[in-house]
Amino acid sequence: MNYPEDDDPVERSLDTLAIRAGTQRTAEGEHSEAIFPTSSFVFASAADAAARFSEQIPGNIYARFTNPTVDLFARRLAALERGQWGIATASGMSAVLASCLALLQQGDELVYSADIFGATVTLFAKYLPRYGIRTTAVSLTDLAAWQQAITPRTKLFYAETPSNPLTQVVDIRQLATLAHENGAKLIVDNCFCTPILQQPLTLGADLIIHSATKYLDGQGRCIGGAVVGDDPLIYKEIYGFLRTAGPTMSAFNAWVFLKGLETLPLRMRAHCAQAQQLAEWLQAQPAVKHVYYPGLLSHPQHALAKAQQRGFGGIVSFELADQTAAWTVIDAVRVFSITANLGDTRSTITHPATTTHGRLAQADRDKAGITHGLVRLSVGLEDLSDLQTDLMRGIKQL
Ligand SMILES: *Cc1c(COP(=O)(O)O)cnc(C)c1O
């Protein structure tokens, strides 16, 4: 049966798409999305099975390939990113891995911004080279460095903007142009902004990576990821790799992420408003040497962030005198969670130099500007004054 909302006109706004896009009801007419916890699917006959396996007719075969709940999540996310297709993965890292292994081969080269998620750095710096893929790290905002790193074997550019933890912003359009002029594709990890604040495909990027674990869920419950893009050939490569290699998303997790997406626009606006106020308040504290937040006029790429993004996001970092000061503030909190996760309704506080970026060599950390006085916040949705009181307890001791 066709229900009236089954089609998704692209002109619908993000608020509507987040709740409605991709909806396909079963014959039961359920209002909330159905969950399909099944590992395989049955066929009407031997001929039906043969036709589905040979892809003469579309249809489910096995949940490592397709699952209706997982596919609905991928379709809805793709609609939000204004992409032609989406593929859900078991984690954000499996989205990165599947994209790289599907699109690169021995002898190919990948250029990436140094300031990216720690596990992605390890994948690029340690594991991919084992398989004959050369990887080069450059400074996110230094376009001349990206240009210099290009060789005839460069196939992929990989960037995260705003970066973690220093919230640097790159011009996606310029980076995409540079990649395309040199026969490479641009992958953007859009985890920090989500499609609500930034849609990299509309700015020229070829692929988007998501860790659904962060804002898409937004309530710290599940691990998951996704890849979104436009090119059908790239879809075929990544989907083919994924259904063969296996890091696909479970139906249970997909259902939780669907619930997360429903409130994503609302939460992102609230995260932005709250982070802006907290960043401005931190900037006024004498013990705070510097605040990193794209929404501040003092941010070197404030104008770019304003043009490229619909909001400045929920991640705020700030610099204190040294590690003792940073740890004093962290150890004094009672509302903030001391955890490396981010994108949650709960505010979190991290010391990047000794946790998320602890495995980097000192020289690389220095180059990236991650000092021992740096503290990173993921600003959640608790009451603002409770968060200020919580930080003030430690700041007063400095
Ligand atoms: C967490 C994160 C990832 C990895 O995602 P997982 O779901 O933990 O595998 C990738 N990129 C960014 C920016 C992240 O924050």
Long-range contacts for 137-145 (Cβ within 8 Å, ≥24 apart)? Answer: 137/111, 137/112, 137/113, 138/111, 138/112, 138/113, 138/114, 139/113, 139/114, 139/115, 139/367, 140/113, 140/114, 140/115, 140/168, 140/170, 141/168, 141/169, 141/170, 141/301, 143/171, 143/174, 143/175, 143/178
Residue 354 has a pLDDT of 93
Ligand 1, atom nearest to 191 Cα: 13
Locate 221 and state its tokens.
């419950």
Cα(210) to centroid of ligand 1, in Å?
Answer: 7
Ligand 1 mutation pick, 213, 222, 348, max ligand atoms within 8 A of CB: 213
> Is residue 381 within 8 Å of 267, Cβ to Cβ?
yes
Average pLDDT, the chain: 94
pTM: 0.95
Residue 3 has a pLDDT of 53
Cα(95) to centroid of ligand 1, in Å?
Answer: 9
Least confident of 11-20, 166-175, 195-204, 365-374: 365-374
Cα(123) to centroid of ligand 1, in Å?
Answer: 12
Residue 368 has a pLDDT of 75
Long-range contacts for 127-131 (Cβ within 8 Å, ≥24 apart)? Answer: 128/100, 128/104, 131/106
Short-list 152, 145, 148, CA closest to 170? 145
* End-to-end alpha carbon distance in the chain: 65
Averaged pLDDT, 155-171: 96
Angle at 333 (CA atoms; ends 329, 339), nearest 5 degrees: 95
Cα–Cα distance measured from residue 99 to residue 207, given in angstroms and rounded to the nearest whole number: 9
Angle, in degrees to the nearest 10, between helices 384-395 and 323-331? 130
- Considering only residues 1 and 250, tell me which one the structure prediction assigns the higher pLDDT: 250
Q: Is the pLDDT of residue 5 over 60?
A: no
Ligand 1 mutation pick, 89, 96, 211, 378, max ligand atoms within 8 A of CB: 211
Averaged pLDDT, 156-181: 96
Backbone torsions φ then ψ of 317, nearest 5 degrees: -120, 150
**The one-letter amino acid at 254:** A
Residue 300 has a pLDDT of 96
Report the percentage of the chain scoring pLDDT > 70: 97
What H or E segment, with its residue span, contains residue 364? helix 362-368
> Is residue 165 within 8 Å of 349, Cβ to Cβ?
no
Residue 261 has a pLDDT of 98
Q: Is the pLDDT of residue 369 over 60?
A: yes
Report the pocket of ligand 1 as residue ranges, CB < 6 Å.
91-93, 117, 119-120, 160, 164, 189, 191, 211, 213-214, 223, 225
Cα–Cα distance measured from residue 70 to residue 72, given in angstroms and rounded to the nearest whole number: 5
Is residue 124 classed exposed, middle or buried when 0-12, 13-18 and 19+ CB atoms within 10 A define those classes?
Answer: buried
Residue 367 has a pLDDT of 72
Residue 1 has a pLDDT of 45
Alpha-carbon Rg for the chain, nearest whole angstrom, is 22
Residue 8 has a pLDDT of 55
Confidence of residue 366 (pLDDT cuts 50, 70, 90): confident
Ligand 1 mutation pick, 93, 207, 350, max ligand atoms within 8 A of CB: 93
Q: For atom 12 of ligand 1, which residue has the closest CA?
A: 117
Q: For atom 2 of ligand 1, which residue has the closest CA?
A: 211
Locate 71 and state its tokens.
């596919």
Q: Dump the DSSP string for 35-84.
A: ----SB---SSHHHHHHHHTTSS----BTTT--HHHHHHHHHHHHHHT-S
Residue 12 has a pLDDT of 84
Confidence of residue 10 (pLDDT cuts 50, 70, 90): low
- Does the bond joining 165 to the residue before it have cis omega, within 30 degrees of 0? yes
Q: Is the pLDDT of residue 281 over 80?
A: yes
* pLDDT tens, position by position, 327-354: 999 999 999 999 988 999 999 999 999 9
Averaged pLDDT, 188-216: 98
Cα–Cα distance measured from residue 128 to residue 113, given in angstroms and rounded to the nearest whole number: 16
Cα–Cα distance measured from residue 289 to residue 373, given in angstroms and rounded to the nearest whole number: 9
* pLDDT tens, position by position, 63-99: 999 999 999 999 999 999 999 999 999 999 999 999 9
Cα–Cα distance measured from residue 190 to residue 309, given in angstroms and rounded to the nearest whole number: 11
- Residues 365, 370, 374, 379: what is their CA dihedral angle, to the nearest 10 degrees? -120
Q: Is the pLDDT of residue 9 over 70?
A: no
Averaged pLDDT, 383-392: 98
Q: For atom 8 of ligand 1, which residue has the closest CA?
A: 92
DSSP state of 125: I
Cα(45) to centroid of ligand 1, in Å?
Answer: 42
Ligand 1, atom nearest to 212 Cα: 7
Buried b (16+ CB within 10 A) or exposed e, 77-96: bbbbbbbebbbbbbbbbbbb
Buried b (16+ CB within 10 A) or exposed e, 56-70: eeeebeebeebbbbb
**The one-letter amino acid at 91:** S
